[in-house]
Amino acid sequence: MNLRGIIIAGVAALGLFGAVGSTAQPAGPRPVRLSATTDEPVVVELFTAQGCSGCPAANEVVEGLAEEPGIIALTYAVDYWDYLGWPDTFAKPEFAQRQRAYQTAMRLRNVYTPQVIIDGRRQLSGAEGSAIQVAVDEEAARRIFPPQVQFRESGDAVGVGSGRAPSGGADVWAVSYRPGTQTVTVAGGDNRGRAVRHVNVVRSLTRLGEWTGRPILLDLPQAADPADKVVVMVQSRADRRILSAATR
């Protein structure tokens, strides 16, 4: 993949965020120390369900992508297949709501699983393994001068740098997920008796605030479990494209 390497947020980066505040912060300047982030990663979001017969193969495709440098892979479990006989153990209604927001932005007829969204810009069936890899490579070369996303070393806040805000504005999202793989043995529905593997399962979505093109510093929600990690994404509100993302 033609991705840029890892950048280290050094002393020069402090000037970007040193005098930043947000509506969630007390008045006055706030000292910031930043950690390293990955430059311009590609975000791959998989919408899947344990009760979907075609989903385990797509889960495997995304698990392979998650091992590649420069890719942030996230798995969202949806609940609209639960009626088939198996309530998905990872599903939350807000995950299906996120998928429907993509449906509206991309003018799709309906939602489905397995569906892969790449950088919020394009969608493919999770069964199209080779096409997904090509799309990821193309998206890696697309983003130019995105706003920087950098975490405080203390882990309690994140800064978003300056840049050109999209028409309609942009939101800053924190996505909490459990890194690595998890396996669930499905006891009902189309995958009855099957052990289904998932990678980087999303546990929560939190909107942190609005990004208007000016630097901002936002508090991060406290992790429900210390084993969880967080991805922060700057995402266009209108067309849902992801402008920038970083993980901690």
Domains of the chain from N-terminus onward: 6-247 (3.40.30.10)
pLDDT in tens, the chain (248 residues): 433 333 333 323 433 443 333 333 333 333 333 333 346 899 999 999 999 999 999 999 999 999 999 999 999 999 999 999 999 999 999 999 999 999 999 999 999 999 999 999 999 999 888 899 899 988 888 766 789 999 988 889 999 999 999 999 999 999 999 999 999 999 999 999 999 999 999 999 999 999 999 999 999 998 888 899 999 999 999 999 999 999 98
pLDDT at 25: 36
Q: Which pTM does this prediction carry?
A: 0.83
Q: Which two tokens stand for residue 234?
A: 């700057």
Output the six-digit token pair for 163.
Answer: 């840049």
DSSP-derived secondary structure letter, 222? P
DSSP state of 12: H
8 A C-beta contact, residue 132 and residue 61: yes
d(CA 77, CA 98): 11
35: amino acid identity, one letter: S
* 37, two tokens: 């982030």
d(CA 238, CA 131): 26
DSSP secondary structure, 99-158, as one string: HHHHHHHHT-S---SSEEEETTTEEEETT-HHHHHHHHHHHHTT--SPPPEEEBTTSSEE
Q: Which residues contact 55 (CB under 8 A, 6 or more apart)?
A: 48, 49, 113, 114, 126, 191, 196
Q: Is 162 exposed, middle or buried (0-12, 13-18, 19+ CB in 10 A)?
A: middle
Residue 39: what pLDDT?
Answer: 64
